[in-house]
Amino acid sequence: MTSLVQIPRVMIFRCARLAFSTVFALFLLAGCKTPSNRPGAAEKRNGDEVVVAGQFFHTGTKIVLWMDPGGYDAYRVERRFAPIDKADWRTSTEEARDLRQPNRYGMYRRGAPDNRLTPEEIERIRGGGWDLPLLQSIVDQFVIHFDVCGVSRECFRILQDHRDLSVHFMLDLDGTIYQTLDLKERAWHATIANDRSIGIEIANMGAYKSDESKALEDWYEKDADGKVRITIPEKLGDGGIRTKNFVGRPARNGLIKGTVQGEELYQYDFTPQQYEALIHLTAALSKIFPKITCDYPRDAQGKVVPQKLPDDELAAYHGVLGHYHVQTNKNDPGPAFQWDYVIDHARLLLHGGMSPAADETSRGHMAR
C-alpha cells in the first residue's frame, strides 16, 4: 500500500518531468535559437544601418559600412589600391605626392559660427568619444557632391590613395551607399562646411560647358532605340558595382542643360536607383540630426539657389545643400540634380509616406 506521504512526492516528480518536457518541446519548436545576449552569439544586422557615434540607425536602403566585406575604410592609413608591399604610409609619401598626412579626417570642434565646442567638451570627446546629443548640436548640414569618377570604387581610390580627402558616404550607380566613417568624424569634403556637415559623393561624371565633352562621350551612349545608358570604360573593369550585370541609365533620357554659378552647363541625370537611396538617406539624416532641415536653399520664388550662398546666409543655413552652395569654384551636384524630387519624397518618408520605388510597386499591384 502506498503511504499518504509518498503520493505527493510521486505527483511532484511527474509534474516536474512534464513541465521539463513541455519547455524542451517549446525550445525545439522555436528552432533551438541561441539567446542573442549569450556570450559569443552573433547579432545580424539588417544591412540598412548607418553608424552615428557608435550607434546603428536604420535608413530603409542598402548601406555597406567600412567594416563590412567590400566596404571602403577611410580609417586606414595605407593606400587601398596600391600593391600591399607598397601600400604603407612611408612608401605612399614617396609615390603619392599629394598625400601629406596619414589621416584623411579630423574631429569636429565647432558647428555654425556661433556654436563652438568648449575646451572641456573637446577634452571629453578626446577621452571618451562623442555622445549623440553633443554631436546633434554640431551637425546641421548635409552636402551633396558628384564625384566626377563615375563609380564609387574609383572615387575612393582618388580620395584614399591620392588625396588628403574623405567623405562620409559614397552613392554608387546601382543605389548602393557606402559609409566610410562614423558620422562623428569630421570628413574633409567641403572646406568651410566640414566643421558642421555630413557629405556624400554620388557617382556621376559631372557637368560641362560643352555637350560634346569627352567625359560624356566615354561614359554615355545611346541604345538602338535612343535610350541613354552608362558605359563604364574598360580600364575600370566592372567598376566595382555591387549589383551584378547592372545596367545604369539616367533618370531622364538625354542631356540636361542648366545654369550653375552663372555658367550654362550640360549633365546627364543621376540614376533612379541613386535617387531612391538618397531619398531614404536624406530622410534618415534629417531624423537623426534634428538641425538638418529637410529642405534646400531657396530664392524668393522658392526655387533652388543656383550659386554659392553669401557668407552670412551660408553661416545661418541648416539643411541639405550642394557643394556649389559652399564654394564658388564648384558646380556639383550640377544642373541635372532633381532637388524637389529628393526633398519632397524624403519629407513623405518622414511623415509615413512612400518612397518612389515603393509607390511604383504599390501602383503596379493596384493595376493588377
The string of pLDDT tens digits covering residues 204-241 is 999 999 998 998 999 999 999 999 999 999 999 999 99
Q: Of 90, 348, 127, 81, which Cα lies nearest the Cα of 237?
A: 81
* Grid cell for residue 319: 539643411
Q: Of 146, 155, 187, 191, which Cα lies nearest the Cα of 72?
A: 155
The string of pLDDT tens digits covering residues 71-89 is 999 999 999 999 999 999 9
The string of pLDDT tens digits covering residues 104-121 is 999 998 899 889 999 999
DSSP label of 275: H
Question: In Å, how far are 208, 249, 262, 331, 338 from 211, measured between CA atoms?
Answer: 7, 18, 17, 16, 19
Q: Of 182, 61, 194, which Cα lies nearest the Cα of 132?
A: 182
Mean pLDDT of 347-359: 84
Question: In Å, how far are 116, 119, 133, 168, 254 from 122, measured between CA atoms?
Answer: 10, 5, 14, 21, 50
Residues 6+ apart with CB under 8 A from 102: 77, 89
pLDDT at residue 1 in the model = 45
CB neighbourhood size of 101 (10 A): 10
pLDDT at residue 76 in the model = 94
The string of pLDDT tens digits covering residues 252-308 is 999 999 999 999 999 999 999 999 999 999 999 999 999 999 999 999 999 999 999
Residue 98 has pLDDT above 90, yes or no: no
C-alpha to C-alpha distance for 89 and 68, rounded to whole angstroms? 23
Mean pLDDT of 147-173: 96
Cα(first)–Cα(last) distance of the chain, in Å? 76
Mean pLDDT of 61-65: 98
pLDDT at residue 114 in the model = 84
pLDDT classification of 355: cutoffs 50, 70, 90:
confident
152, 178 Cβ separation under 8 angstroms: yes
Sorted by where each starts, the structural domains of the chain and their CATH numbers stand as: 49-367 (3.40.80.10)
Separate counts of helices (H) and strands (E) for the chain:
10, 14
The SS3 of residue 58 is: strand
Question: In Å, how far are 195, 204, 257, 268, 274 from 249, measured between CA atoms?
Answer: 35, 11, 17, 9, 10
pLDDT classification of 31: cutoffs 50, 70, 90:
very low
Q: Of 236, 263, 279, which Cα lies nearest the Cα of 331?
A: 263
C-alpha to C-alpha distance for 71 and 88, rounded to whole angstroms? 19
Q: The whole model's pTM is what? A: 0.87
C-alpha to C-alpha distance for 178 and 62, rounded to whole angstroms? 9
